[in-house]
Amino acid sequence: MHLSRRDFLQLMGAAGAAGFLTPGAIKAAWGGERDPYDIPPYGNVSLLHMTDSHAQLLPVWWREPGTNIGVGKAWNQTPHLVGNWKLRYYGVKAGTPEGYALSCLDYDTLAHRYGKIGGYAHIASIVKRFRNDLGDRMIFLDGGDSWQGSATSLWTKAADMVGAQNLLGVEYFVGHWEFTYGQDRVNYLIKHRLKAQFLAQNVFTIPWQEPVFTPYAIHEVRGYKVAIIGQAFPFTPIANPAYLIPDWGFAIHTGHMQKMVNECREHHKADVVVVLSHNGADVDKKMAGLVKGIDIILGGHTHEIMGPRPFRVNDTLIVNTSTNGKVLARFDLDVGKGRLNGWRYHFLPVIASFVPADPDMAAYIREARAPYLARLGEPLATTESLLYRRDNFNGTFDQVICNALREELDCEAAFSPGFRWGYCKLPGETITMEDLMAQTAITYPEATITEYTGGEIKNILEQVADNIFNKDPYYIQGGDMIRVGHIDYTFNPNETIGRRCSDIRINGKQMSRTKKYKIAGWAAMTRVEGKAVWDLVANYLRREKTVRVDRVDLPRLTRNMRGNHGIAFPGKYKI
């Protein structure tokens, strides 16, 4: 099915009765007489990029972080800008659809005004329209983390998401959380089910150091050669259980990336080189400064928005395209022989109420979800608070999980991973089993009780902090600070490992380095036995019936954090 601009606008009008905005309303909603998806033609090659959908087939609520601190050279630099700082940097007005997409400010009000974001049926309408407009000059790339993050993706072992990618027409793909299904399942899906080509130049067999996946593809567009090099998440066996991928080794492999770029340029005579990356924004920026000959990096992993304009390192343009299907990025390129002559970049928020659902994709999603609707729809509790995850420190949904683990397992305190996936719930909404699974749907969900000494607790906090706030981007693994329940501490992200966390207290009392504390947790890196975290949290929610988060266990930030543009609400912290 091809959707022309005329068909698209007619469909928009017809969709008005179903609750979608009419063509006139979409222009008004975007702040003027314009259709944001009506893009004038430019150049001869177009790249369409999405990333980190985390298996959310339906539209969701997604709030940008209120805290995203950069250290070292990343201090007060994109993507470590939040709230008004981000809006000012990109010249975007608060309260507009773009402002809603970019910022955490006034989230409750704007969420009710504009509605949910993403949804594969809505993305499909835009993709079909662009494909009809651009024809074979369009290349559609998925930056990974598309197979994990929902109940149905977990229960089908990613089959539902592979089907959605195939229907969407994804052509190239790279991975991270995909690997948590295990190397046998990943191999099967890539070889037998996935239509897109999976690329990764930085995954090698253990111990033979042979490439596991095709490192790059040469995509010809009207006589021009576009090289697409895949960069899978380089820290997969550290951030996720290594036993799931025992025969594969991962790394950044800067030297091998340079070799692949040279091979594409010199042997294949590529006219433009694109890296489809799951490094994370800061790692992409460092890699762009070390590897010569990359024109564009289409990045993902850290769920950060580097738009509405790309970030440039030397001659390399870098974008990161958010999460949950919130943003599509489109590069229109003027490609010449052996060079990129010019480009135009389009940052395209996907606000579901503005875009009609594609009927083919909507039908597929209904069919894929049908066997699980009863389980997905089970009501667990009502929230009186905005529940969100994405933030450098405890999000309110993570606080609920920590509280539940601590009470259900009768522990003094709790740890929960600093995952960046997991959508929001607005005050007054019912938390369903589907919503809970969207925060916890992993292949290693067992909850644990561990006795840690105070010294071990400090070491855990310090190790995680170093993975996030290291001044060398090549030591940053992504994610956010480990979530805590009933643990308070003073935090200085500008310090070095062993010195970032101080004055640690458990249940309000000064922590002893030698005393042992009973700590609840989940998502262990080694094989463990225990109940699935979602079962424990579901029991807690059913018993509570109503959730209100009045206390969030945030650290006390040191004074040198004053003026940091990665903090939107400094009043939340004791600085």
Q: The whole model's pTM is what?
A: 0.94
Q: Fill in the DSSP letter of residue 245.
A: S
Query: Which CA distances in Å does 181 have to 149, 157, 242?
Result: 12, 7, 12
Per-residue pLDDT, 28: 57
Q: How far apart (Å, rounded) are the C-alpha atoms in residues 226 and 339?
A: 10
| Ranges of residues in the chain whose predicted pLDDT is under 70 | 1-33
Per-residue pLDDT, 33: 55
Q: How far apart (Å, rounded) are the C-alpha atoms in residues 193 and 416?
A: 34
Amino acid in position 478: G
Per-residue pLDDT, 2: 44
Q: How far apart (Å, rounded) are the C-alpha atoms in residues 28 and 26?
A: 5
Query: How many CA atoms lie less than 13 Å away from 204 in the CB half-sphere?
Result: 10
Query: Which CA distances in Å does 131 have to 4, 39, 243?
Result: 9, 12, 41
Per-residue pLDDT, 30: 59
| Tens digit of each residue's pLDDT (9 = 90 or more) over 161-206 | 999 999 999 999 999 999 999 999 999 999 999 999 999 999 999 9
Per-residue pLDDT, 169: 98
Per-residue pLDDT, 575: 87
CATH 3.30.70.2660 for domain 377-572: no
The CATH architecture to which 48-58+118-367 belongs is 4-Layer Sandwich (3.60)
SS3 labels along 358-427: CHHHHHHHHHHHHHHHHHHCCEEEEECCCECCCCCCCCHHHHHHHHHHHHHCCCCEEEECCCCCCCEECC
**Cα dihedral value 4, 5, 11, 14, nearest 10:** -140
**Rg for the chain (alpha carbons), in Å?**
23
Kindly report the length of the chain: 575
Q: Identify whether 308 is preceded by a cis peptide bond (ω within 30 of 0).
A: yes
CATH 3.60.21.10 residue window(s) in the chain: 48-58+118-367
Q: How far apart (Å, rounded) are the C-alpha atoms in residues 309 and 300?
A: 16
Find the angle CA(508)-CA(461)-CA(243) to the nearest 5 degrees: 135
Interacting residues of 176 by C-beta distance below 8 A, sequence separation 6+: 144, 145, 232, 233, 236, 278, 301
Q: How far apart (Å, rounded) are the C-alpha atoms in residues 117 and 36?
A: 15
Per-residue pLDDT, 574: 87
Residue 415 · residue 460 · CB < 8 Å: yes
The partner residues of 316 in beta bridges, in order of sequence, read 313
Per-residue pLDDT, 22: 47
Per-residue pLDDT, 29: 55
The stretches of 299-369 forming alpha helices (DSSP H) are 359-369
Q: How far apart (Å, rounded) are the C-alpha atoms in residues 446 and 440?
A: 10
Query: Which CA distances in Å does 423 have to 54, 118, 214, 298?
Result: 10, 11, 33, 23
Per-residue pLDDT, 7: 44
Per-residue pLDDT, 82: 97
Per-residue pLDDT, 307: 79
Please say whether the dihedral angle defined by the alpha carbons of residues 94, 96, 98 and 102, taken in this order, is positive or negative: positive
CATH 3.90.780.10 residue window(s) in the chain: 377-572
Per-residue pLDDT, 27: 57
Residue with tokens 């998502």: 523
Residue 402 · residue 523 · CB < 8 Å: no
Interacting residues of 326 by C-beta distance below 8 A, sequence separation 6+: 62, 101, 117, 118, 349, 350
Query: Which CA distances in Å does 66 have to 292, 388, 415, 562?
Result: 35, 10, 21, 15
Pick from 369, 431, 441: nearest CA to 180: 441
